[in-house]
Amino acid sequence: GESVGLHLPTLSVQEGDNSIINCAYSNSASDYFIWYKQESGKGPQFIIDIRSNMDKRQGQRVTVLLNKTVKHLSLQIAATQPGDSAVYFCAAQRNSWGKLQFGAGTQVVVTP
Amino acid sequence: EPEVTQTPSHQVTQMGQEVILRCVPISNHLYFYWYRQILGQKVEFLVSFYNNEISEKSEIFDDQFSVERPDGSNFTLKIRSTKLEDSAMYFCASSIRQAGEQYFGPGTRLTVT
């Protein structure tokens, strides 16, 4: 079955530095990937997504990189701010079909 | 900006009781989902729903669970006889397409005592 996981449970980063959050997936049929941000007591909030026909996608202060060869994706946050403190989840969708398979989450803590 | 809404935000119930969790998906979305998140753990898929029927369900979604779209706006999750292990955050999500981004609601915290 699918396994989507994150490499680090907690990432502590200084305000203004760049953050990199990593994620691995196991099923090569996964063809769509999303990064979600979850603040305490709230639902997952979409950050950025990428399809398997791409290897990089940029948004506002965020970049997602996808390496299909090693089944790995990462989320880079530039100039991390206190408002970026949250749990970040990667999620994968297989064969462009409905359900999302979530990873375990990385807690990002931004220190002043 | 349109958003998914869920009620109630917190539901406390006794073991064995029935609960109904309610969701209002984004109005032009066609695909609806329920996920749950046990405290401190990852988000888990429960069920997807399209065209008034279940399109996929996980092994968590057993006979105690059911979903319904009773009208053009609401989407509900019913747990017939709650167990202690049903305590979790339940998230509703919706999407306009089968493939791609899903928008999540704020969740309902279910506490079974």
pLDDT at position B40 = 82
Would you say residue A8 has pLDDT above 70? Answer: no
**How confident is the prediction for chain B on average, in pLDDT?**
95
Which of A95-109, B39-53, B59-73 bottoms out in mean pLDDT, i.e. has the lowest?
A95-109
Task: Kindly indicate the confidence band of residue A12, based on its pLDDT and cuts at 50, 70 and 90.
Answer: very high
pLDDT digits (tens, 9 = 90+) for B76-85: 999 999 999 9
Mean pLDDT, range B92-108, rounded to an integer: 93
Record: contact A43-B106, CB cut-off 8 A: yes
Give the pLDDT band (50/70/90) at residue B46.
very high
The reply to whether A64 touches chain B by the CB within 8 Å rule is no
Report d(CA A3, CA A39) in Å as an integer: 23
Q: Answer whether A52's CB lies under 8 Å from A64's CB.
A: no
| Contact criterion met (CB < 8 Å) for B105 and A42 | no
More reliable by pLDDT, B28 or A5: B28
Q: Measured between alpha carbons, how far is B39 from A74 in angstroms, rounded to an integer?
A: 25
In this structure, are strands B75-79 and A4-6 parallel, antiparallel, or unpaired? unpaired
Residue B100 has φ and ψ, to the nearest 5°, of: 115, -165
CB A36 within 8 A of CB A47: yes
Residue A15 distance to chain B (closest CA, Å): 25
**Among candidates B48, B100, B106 on the partner chain, residue whose Cβ is nearest the Cβ of A42:** B106
Report CA-CA distances (Å) from A47 to A15, A17, A23, A88, B50: 19, 19, 15, 9, 25
For residue A93, list chain B residues with Cβ-Cβ distance below 8 A.
99-100
3-class SS of residue A40: coil
pLDDT of B35 reads 98
Pick B103's closest partner by Cβ from A46, A91, A99. A46
Round to whole Å and give the CA distance between B47 and B62. 10
> CB-based contact (8 Å) between A22 and chain B?
no
Phi, psi for B13 (deg, rounded to 5): -145, 160
CA distance B6 to A103: 23
Q: Is the pLDDT of residue A7 over 70?
A: no
Confidence of residue A6 (pLDDT cuts 50, 70, 90): low
Instruction: State whether residue A86 sits within 8 Å of chain B by CB.
Output: no
Q: What is the C-alpha radius of gyration for chain A, rounded to an integer number of angstroms? A: 13
pLDDT digits over A39-90, tens only? 988 899 999 999 999 999 999 999 999 999 999 999 999 999 999 999 999 9
Closest approach of chain A CAs to the CA of B48, in angstroms? 7
Chain-centre distance of CA B26, in angstroms?
14
CATH T-level fold of A4-111 = Immunoglobulin-like (2.60.40)
pLDDT tens readout for residues B6-28: 999 999 999 999 999 999 999 99
Report d(CA A30, CA A24) in Å as an integer. Answer: 11
**Which CATH entry fits the domain spanning B5-96: 2.60.40.10, 3.30.70.20, 3.30.200.20, 3.30.420.40?**
2.60.40.10
**Average per-residue pLDDT in chain A?**
90
Give the model's pLDDT for residue A1: 41
Alpha-helical regions (H) of B15-88: none
Q: What is the pLDDT of residues B56-77, one digit of tens each?
A: 999 999 999 999 998 888 999 9
